[in-house]
Chain A
Amino acid sequence: MTGTSGTGQPSLPGSPRAAVTEIFHHHYRRLVGLAGLMVDDRESAEEVVQDAFESLYRSWGRLRDPQAAVAYLNRSVVNGSRSRLRKRMTERAYDIPDAGTAPSAESLGLDRNERDELVEALRALPRRQREVMVLRYYLDLSEDQIAEWLGISNGSVKRHAFRATETLQKRMEAWA
């Protein structure tokens, strides 16, 4: 029987180990996807997510509810990805995932070439602009949240988002 807490959040198994395992099964793939957007290669993404789950397990006693655990994981993955990227700033190489495993371009209402162009343009963005775009459009964070997560001002978030959008717009127009 699965109980629910007073806030309506699903409850987790009593032991931290079981709870982390359950969260792993529900969120692991999504988090690898998030890390993949930021670090470009799957192995690094997997390591970042492993680190995040281990950190969650270590910090379990300080978390109040399952929602806090998922938020903690999101943030750990973003921090871990940024840290990893910075470490290899000079040896960055893009590894585009196998297009055959991704949802079809048609299912997104995008032409395949158009989507590939957009993927390439997103990956070519300066690191900070790309981080802002991933947090804004993939994690759906507000400007305030992005500013806090990245440790920058709201104005900087706006500037990075504006420049990134402008770059992508120009690239797509040029391609069209």
Chain B
Amino acid sequence: MNELETAITATLQAEAEGAAMTTDTTHEHEILNDRLDDVDRHRRRITWVGAIAAAAAIVLVIVGVRTLGTSHIPEPVSPSPSSVPRHVTTAFRPTVSLVVPAWVRDSTSAISTENDREAKWSVCDGGCGKGPSSVLAVILVASVLDPRSPTGYSAANQPEKFLASLQRSEAAGSLAITDRSTTTVGGFPAIVLTIDERRNVSNGFGCEIAPDQRCYDLSSDWDRLAVVDYHGSTLVLAASTNRSATDAVKADIAAQFDQMLTTVRFDPRPSPSAS
């Protein structure tokens, strides 16, 4: 190591120690304890939700078996559209109207946030304000960009590039894609898929196209994703939860998310951002 390298090492160490010395470890430990308490509450809640979902599934199977045992097959009953409130975005562009899943509507702790580039519903246990730790599940609508595009952040925001990026991440072992299917969302072509995030990867989901773009990381979550080709741009709808959630919980979230997709409507007026 030459003189400059020695000086760089020593300077970085001194800087790091300087930053470390000013932190209040006791206070930070208290904060961590609160956050870990939230995680524990979240796990207990997930366990209960899983148990309830499993119980519901059993009831449905029993009802199904009994129904099959009779000669009378009842007509399917569709939920009355007017009985469920629709959410219409006000800041997010393009304007989206949808019926959020029951686990969001029925939660007393659901928090809705929205800006021109993101509409999100977080269902938390113990208060979403305490950080991502307490988030049980998230519904997200956002426009994103393939972060590894050779032309950088000014590249066209094309759905196929976004999907190609996910496939590269899968090939690299950062995530696994399952249950991929083609559908339409709000009249636009879409690919629906399930993602199991296996590694933490900064910007693994891409970044917004904006000077102060926010990026979406892979962070040990499980996601049900709809990649919508909205006038040639990528519009992503997602439901996320921690990948440690039980299969029953994930299945329930996926089913409700897929149901939500059938309710999505876009403002028929062309969006200025979609080109």
Q: Which residues of B contact A89 (CB under 8 A)?
A: 212
Number of interface residues of B (CB under 8 A): 45
Any A CB within 8 A of the CB of B73: no
Any A CB within 8 A of the CB of B201: yes
Question: B147 → chain A, closest Cβ, in Å?
Answer: 9
Any A CB within 8 A of the CB of B214: yes
Contacting B at CB under 8 A, from A43-80, are 45-47, 49-51, 53-55, 57-59, 61, 75-76, 79
| CB <8 Å contact, A115 and B200 | no
Say yes or no: A54-B16 contact (C-beta < 8 A), given A59-B220, A118-B7, A137-B5.
Answer: no
Task: Give 28 CB contacts A-B under 8 Å.
Answer: A21-B29, A24-B32, A29-B20, A33-B15, A33-B16, A33-B20, A46-B28, A50-B32, A50-B35, A50-B131, A51-B132, A54-B132, A54-B133, A58-B244, A86-B202, A86-B215, A90-B211, A97-B19, A98-B22, A99-B18, A102-B15, A110-B10, A110-B11, A114-B7, A122-B12, A133-B12, A138-B12, A168-B8
Q: Besides the contacts A58-B244, A83-B203, A115-B7, what 15 more A-B pairs have beta carbons closer than 8 Å? A: A30-B16, A30-B20, A33-B18, A37-B12, A37-B19, A57-B36, A59-B220, A79-B200, A79-B217, A97-B19, A103-B17, A118-B8, A137-B5, A168-B8, A172-B7
Chain B positions near chain A (C-beta within 8 angstroms) = 4-5, 7-23, 25, 28-29, 31-32, 35-36, 39, 131-133, 200-203, 207, 211-215, 217, 219-220, 242, 244
